[in-house]
Amino acid sequence: MIGILDYGMGNLGSVRNTCAALGVEARILTSPDEMSAMDGLLMPGQGAFRDCMAHLRDQGWVQPVRDWIREDRPFFGICMGLQVLFEDSEESPGVEGLAVLPGTVKRFPDAPGLKVPQMGWNRAAWKQPGPIFRDALDGHHFYFVHSYHVPLVEQPWVAGTTTFGIEYVSAVSFGNCHAVQFHPEKSQKDGLALVKAFADSVA
């Protein structure tokens, strides 16, 4: 059973419908107390870094989610579910993220012809196979909506990159923790394949 984390910010309906369409057994979780019965955790997210972390703190999710990831239990983060894995973000100075990965989330630089936020389809280039990216091919397109990004670094947890003016990290993977900047639930067959691969890795 995969638990879809409901902390007041996230595309829960689309994610739940995606799981249902794939035949993946999933349940929306409204309390951290429900996590222990789950085999995997899926964290969707949208909106601002500050609001996301405030909701997580106020509802008691921060330490349980940190512990879940540090115990190497299956986790899949979407959009803001990737960004909050890092220490902080330029979007919300002074707000601490989950800090399970080092680094600061940055705003896309202003550049001629580059319209921020990035909104629409873009490609991901995979840097490591990983358990959920094993069947992914370079050139697959996914749907993005975001103004902030994880800067490109030479780290083993960088699973995929995307170029939007600059090349940045669009997917991370370490142990049983995976996260993507794009929205697989809005990315048709390529996105569905990643959700299915995560579910298969949990089974």
Per residue in 132-185, pLDDT (tens digit) is 876 555 567 899 999 999 999 999 999 999 999 999 999 999 999 999 999 999
C-beta of residue 78 within 8 angstroms of C-beta of residue 63: no
Overall average pLDDT of the 10-23 stretch: 88
User: What is the widest separation between alpha-carbon atoms in the chain?
Assistant: 50
Predicted confidence (pLDDT) per residue in 75-111, tens digit = 999 999 999 999 999 999 999 999 999 999 999 998 8
Q: Indicate the SS3 state at residue 71.
A: coil
Provide the whole-model pTM. Answer: 0.94
Q: Indicate which CATH number applies to the domain containing 143.
A: 3.40.50.880
pLDDT at 29 over 70: yes
Please state the domain count of the chain: 1
pLDDT at residue number 12: 85
Helix (H) or strand (E) holding 77: strand 75-78
pLDDT at 114 over 90: no
Contacts of 13 (CB under 8 A, 6+ apart): none
| Residue 69: domain span | 2-202
pLDDT at residue number 134: 64
| Catalytic site positions | 79, 183, 185
